[in-house]
A and B are shown apart, each in its own frame.
Chain A
């Protein structure tokens, strides 16, 4: 057996059953050991156990796929920046694990969605290539700096291509790190990877480009409004949440209307902050000593205590109007006395916390827990992370105040 053959080579394999000719393929992560995978001329992949192979000849060295070469066409219209961070909007198939991985260069992304050049003059850049489940607060900082740099150097808007799992967190983070926005910062992702004909990436990306050339002065998330490929919703970056594991319309703003709609040919904004003059200010630091804690019936004082001991502040996704069980209030109280911040949100997601209605709520307030209004638990967590890294005091007051549209006084039917 010729062990010199590498992926992409055309080989001829002889076994007792016959001769098979095709292109040597990388194995799937779940493939058994001792198996060779080749792509037949019919297009199908077949596997041949190594111990059945009498001979393997290399017929032709095909080598690695070249990918796309050359420069993407210059677009017309406003200059915008496209910052790629990974995720399925820019992805291809990884044969090592058989999964979809972010790896396509922004240049390739521009090539695959040529219509982008009809909306704006896009300058694409790969900031990092990280699956969104692996994003950390330090990545938020880098995104914030990069976006500010682009806006302050003459770009009309910024698109950040991001994996969908934690896109809501990153968008919320930038909404606090960036102030006096002089252009839109638009997060976009896809729920069906861009290597598929049915991908939502194209429509999402083109719609995001429409938002990026609008007069919005906010951080936004642009994703499918429904399962149809007709238009996207423009969500305020700190009001939006991924509410479905797989659907195209997974992104929802539970407590507020989307701030607009966009489609590949246009955009319509409702109530929104317009872009400001002057430069964007960026304060990119975030504390990573904040925990987001889900309240549940069996939660023990021990566990809560150990979380609080290791953090500077926590956000609780409480039950109902903003509760944890009474037996935990003492633990919270003692850590708050030591200077920790505890913010209450609701795991209901829809609606605001109100800690005046029931006695547990009132006891939590007395213990010093800060009510988080109708902020999403994730947004409160990001906001607290930012506050602890940037403020010298007045954290509780800051958490109660609307800073970037992340909380509202009224919710509507």
Chain B
């Protein structure tokens, strides 16, 4: 596809969890399998300072849900039973670091805001978020991608399974984990560029060493539009490598919908607001879905869509359905699992005869379509209202929406794009003034590539080793150990020995390297020493226990002499040629206690003595 011709514009919104305690209390930022005490709450939308109620908030309120919260690993702050504490400074400094790395300008005074979210994922009904810096940028393959905003915010509670009917369950362990939110301008022009930009931002974030690693700790939202389409926000893309696929699929969806809109206008199609009760036509239906709905006292309701025929299902020669899934996803908002539409019937147990009856009852012409819902009457009406609303939008092409990433590049409608009125000041958190002194104290860390490059040059280690050191965040300890002048030994200790024998802290590693440098044991004995230290021994105990105290030259000479006298005939016979064969048995007795070079010098001397 020619994305430039299509006018593709993509913006990224990256949310990355920080590896500090929570943003507004001192609870650990760690997930737990425990449930803890449970409690139940409801939320209501409220007026914001400008007197407008958020439309996304209203849609959530319509669902009238009760929320059950599991509180293990959290305190009263997450439960909304205590005001937030002062902002976590370590988290704030991390955002300031990222801002500095991307040439952004930090706002002088940070004001945290309440962003209305009443789907229950925040016990307060809002997410606390602060704008920390403005107008930074990154460069991607020579193109500048602007980053207008850098925010610090609370992560939401984690949805979990369970709960009674009508309840949504959340665990509070994730609520309040600091998130850095980086939003780029819609400067990205291709699916691949979106991925590279996300990778670049990821690498900047990781350079701070304050970010969490692993699945679920970073989340990408994509803002995608094409010319003639609309801005669509896709939330919760987990895998970097799938970003291009999500972009491609959304472009295709927008193209399909734009084409449908043109076709609708050409056909002079319309939407009729009337909802028909067709229950009578389905009393003997074989369709399981319909039978179940009727058994529960439900009804079969229908709407007619003049001029929509063929625009709901798959277009010939293509694989994706057109308006059908859009309608179904809107209906799902009020809790209806599925709808039937004329482009896919007869199917799902609905017979041809029944379809004909419906067509007759609704006076469906050749170019007309219909949609059926079998549910309790109230729910069915709500669902068809949603479908009608979506059908009206179809004339405009692509409606602005928030969609959820469903994996494998697929998305699903979740709600309208939130309006502007969704924020008001968080007055419980005092504003934070960022002075020059604070900004000066922020150090800009090296990016991964720069650091790898430097390690290769400065310490003479391989690129592969350097990358592994940096990627596993062992770079600081590596450089500390390099002070003892043995970079390759440090690499071996960090990448090979420690993963085998267990962890030794920085002080322990420094002790071991100092002892090694002082000649208290040899390189060959390092694994044994570190293994002992991993079990909790001090350096002295570890050397002692390993029996690795360095041997004196005198002792080594004695061993060499004994060996030579045992094999006197062989030595006399081969002269210095006996060196090679004798080295093995000699090393067996002195390994780890004597440097290899020194050992061979001593053995040579012992042989010379008898020649």
In contact, B125 and A196 (Cβ under 8 angstroms): yes
Tell me if A31 counts as interface (CB < 8 A to partner B).
yes
Within the complex, the shortest CB–CB distance from B120 to chain A, in Å, comes to: 10
Chain B residues near A31 (CB, 8 Å)? 109, 431
Whether B116 lies near A93 (C-beta < 8 A) is no
12 more contacts with CB within 8 A, not counting A28-B431, A44-B423, A229-B41, are: A18-B134, A31-B431, A39-B423, A44-B131, A66-B51, A197-B46, A199-B44, A203-B42, A227-B81, A245-B82, A246-B83, A247-B76
A18 touches B149 (CB 8 A): no
Question: Which residues from A are CB-within-8-Å of B134?
Answer: 17-18, 46
Residues of B within 8 A of A46 (CB): 107, 111, 131, 134
Least CB separation from B50: chain A residue: A65
Q: Are A93 and B430 in contact (CB under 8 A)?
A: no
Q: How far is the CA of A196 from the CA of B23 in the complex (A)?
A: 20
B429, chain A: closest CB distance, angstroms: 9
Interface residues of B in 122-136 (CB under 8 A from A): 123-126, 129-131, 134-135
CA distance A328 to B116 in the complex (A): 57
| Chain B proximity of A339: nearest CB distance (Å) | 46
Contact B425 A32 (CB under 8 A): no
Identify which of residues 172-220 in chain A touch chain B, using a CB-to-CB cut-off of 8 Å.
192, 194-199, 202-203
A104's nearest neighbour on chain B, judged by CB, is B47
A44 touching B81, Cβ below 8 Å: no
Question: Which residues of the other chain, A, contact B50 by a CB distance below 8 angstroms?
Answer: 23, 65
Give the interface residue-count category, chain A.
35 or more
A43 to B113, CA, bound (A): 8
Give Cα distance in the complex from A226 to B79, angstroms. 12
- Please, what's the 1-or-0 string for B17-53, where 1 marks a CB less than 8 Å from any CB in chain A? 0000000000000000000000111111111011100
| A43 adjacent to B44 (CB under 8 Å) | no
B44 touches A202 (CB 8 A): yes
Please measure, in the bound complex, the distance between the C-alpha atom of A112 and the C-alpha atom of B44, giving whole angstroms: 10
Q: In the complex, what distance in Å separates the CA atom of A44 from the CA atom of B57? A: 18
B40 touches A229 (CB 8 A): yes
Q: Which of B41, B116, B149 contacts A228 (CB 8 A)?
A: B41
**A402 within 8 Å of B by Cβ?**
no
Mark contacts of B421-432 with chain A using CB atoms, 8 A cut-off: 1 yes-contact digit, 0 otherwise.
111110100110
Q: Does B420 contact A (CB under 8 A)?
A: yes
Q: Given A37-B111, A43-B420, do A194 and B49 touch, yes or no (CB 8 Å)? A: no
Find B40's partner among A25, A43, A230 (CB 8 Å cutoff).
A230
Quick check: is B411 within 8 A (CB to CB) of the other chain?
no
Residue of A nearest to B110 (CB): A47
**A359 vs B51: C-alpha distance in the bound complex, in angstroms?**
65
* Dominant secondary structure of chain A at its interface with chain B: loop
Q: Let me know if B109 and A246 touch, CB within 8 A.
A: no
Distance A247 CA – B71 CA, assembled complex (angstroms): 15
B105 at interface (Cβ–Cβ under 8 A)? yes
Interface bits B145-182 vs A (CB < 8 Å: 1, else 0): 00001010000000000000000000000000000000
| Contact B46 A194, beta carbon cutoff 8 Å | yes
Which of B46, B422, B423 sits near A195, CB closer than 8 Å? Answer: B46
Q: Which of A94-102, A362-370, A374-382 contacts B (4 or more CB under 8 A)?
A: A94-102
Q: Known contacts A98-B427, A197-B116, A199-B44; decide if A227 and B79 are in contact (CB<8 Å).
A: yes
Minimum-distance CB pairs A-B, first 4: A197-B125, A43-B423, A47-B109, A44-B131
**Contact partners of B107 in chain A: CB under 8 A:** 46-47
Instruction: Give Cα A246–Cα B45 distance, bound, in whole angstroms.
Output: 22
Chain B CB within 8 A of A48 CB: yes
The chain B residue sitting closest to A20, CB to CB, is B134
**Shortest distance from the beta carbon of B287 to any chain A beta carbon, whole Å:** 38
- CB under 8 Å from chain B, chain A span 59-76: 65-67
Residue of B nearest to A45 (CB): B111
Q: Does B433 contact A (CB under 8 A)?
A: yes
Please determine whether B108 and A47 come into contact, CB atoms closer than 8 angstroms: yes
A45–B425 Cα gap in the complex (Å)? 8
**Which of B57, B114, B126, B431 is the one whose CB lies under 8 Å from A30?**
B431
- B206 at the A interface (CB under 8 A): no
Give the distance in Å from the alpha carbon of A41 to the alpha carbon of B114 in the complex. Answer: 15
Q: Are A195 and B47 in contact (CB under 8 A)?
A: yes
In the assembled complex, which residues on chain A have CB atoms less than 8 Å from the CB atom of B424?
A: 93, 195
- Whether A198 pairs with B125 at a CB distance below 8 angstroms is yes
| Docked complex Cα distance between A48 and B151 (Å) | 17
CA distance A357 to B42 in the complex (A): 50
Residue of A nearest to B129 (CB): A44
A203 to B43, CA, bound (A): 11
Contacts of A118 in B (CB 8 A): none
CA of A94 to CA of B424, assembled, Å: 12
- Tell me which residues from 98 to 122 in chain B have a Cβ below 8 Å from any Cβ of chain A: 105, 107-109, 111, 113-116, 118
Indicate whether A77 reaches chain B with its CB closer than 8 angstroms: no
Contact B109 A32 (CB under 8 A): yes
B425 and A197: CB pair below 8 A? no
Tell yes or no: A248 within 8 A of B by CB: yes
Contact B39 A196 (CB under 8 A): no
Partner of B39, one of A32, A43, A94, A228: A228
* Distance between A33 CB and nearest chain B CB, rounded to angstroms: 11
From A93, A98, A100, A227, residue with most partner B Cβ within 10 Å: A227
Say yes or no: A45 contacts B113, CB within 8 Å: yes
Interface mask (B198-214 → A, CB under 8 Å = 1, otherwise 0): 00000000000000000
User: Does any Cβ of B come within 8 Å of A42's Cβ?
Assistant: yes
Asked if A154 lies at the interface with its beta carbon under 8 angstroms from chain B, I say no
Q: Which of A30, A195, A197 contacts B118 (CB 8 A)?
A: A197
Question: Measured between C-beta atoms, what is the minimum distance from B226 to chain A in Å?
Answer: 23
| Cβ of A35 under 8 Å from chain B | yes
Q: Can you report 25 residue pairs joining A to B where beta carbons are below 8 Å apart?
A: A17-B105, A18-B135, A30-B431, A32-B108, A32-B109, A32-B433, A39-B423, A42-B149, A44-B129, A44-B130, A44-B151, A44-B423, A47-B111, A93-B425, A100-B427, A112-B46, A197-B44, A197-B46, A198-B41, A203-B42, A229-B40, A230-B40, A246-B76, A247-B81, A248-B81
Whether A198 contacts B80 by the Cβ 8 Å rule is yes
**Chain A residues whose CB sits within 8 angstroms of the CB of B49 once the complex forms:** 65, 93, 95
Contacts of B41 in A (CB 8 A): 198, 228-229
Residues of A within 8 A of B82 (CB): 245-247
A93 to B426, CA, bound (A): 9
CA distance A203 to B46 in the complex (A): 14
Instruction: State which residues 251-266 of A face B: CB under 8 Å.
Output: none
Task: Kindly state whether residue A49 has any CB partner on chain B within 8 Å.
Answer: yes
- Bound CA span A67–B115, Å: 21
B42 touches which of A35, A45, A229 (Cβ 8 Å): A229
Q: Determine which residue in B45, B57, B76, B421 has the highest number of CB atoms from chain A within 10 A of its CB, and name it.
A: B76
Contact residues in A for B46 (Cβ distance below 8 Å) = 112, 194-197, 199
User: B128 to nearest A CB, angstroms?
Assistant: 12
CB distance from A76 to the nearest CB of B (A): 22
Select from chain B the residue with minimum beta-carbon distance to A31.
B431
B427 touches A35 (CB 8 A): no
CB distance from A179 to the nearest CB of B (A): 37
**Which residues of chain B are near A40, meaning CB under 8 Å?**
131
Indicate which residue in B109, B115, B151, B425 contacts A98 across the interface (CB closer than 8 Å).
Answer: B425
**Bound-state Cα–Cα, A120 to B450, Å:** 71
Q: How far is the CB of A101 from chain B (nearest CB, A)?
A: 10
Shortest distance from the beta carbon of B208 to any chain A beta carbon, whole Å: 22
A35 contact set on B, CB distance < 8 A: 108-109
A47: nearest residue on chain B (CB-CB)? B109
Nearest-CB residue, chain B, relative to A202 = B44
Q: How far is the CA of A199 from the CA of B46 in the complex (A)?
A: 10
Instruction: State A112–B210 Cα separation when bound (angstroms).
Output: 43
A residues 235-276 near B (Cβ < 8 Å) are: 245-248
A247–B77 CA distance with the chains assembled, in angstroms: 10
Q: Which residue of A lies closest to B60 (CB)?
A: A197
CB distance from B10 to the nearest CB of A (A): 18
**Chain B neighbourhood of A229, CB < 8 A:** 40-42, 66
User: Which residues of A are found within 8 Å of B125, using beta-carbon distances?
Assistant: 196-198
Residues of chain A within 8 A of B51, CB atoms compared: 65-67
Instruction: Give the CA-CA distance A227 to B130 in the complex, in Å.
Output: 28
Known: A18-B135, A35-B109, A197-B45. A43 touches B115 (CB 8 A): yes
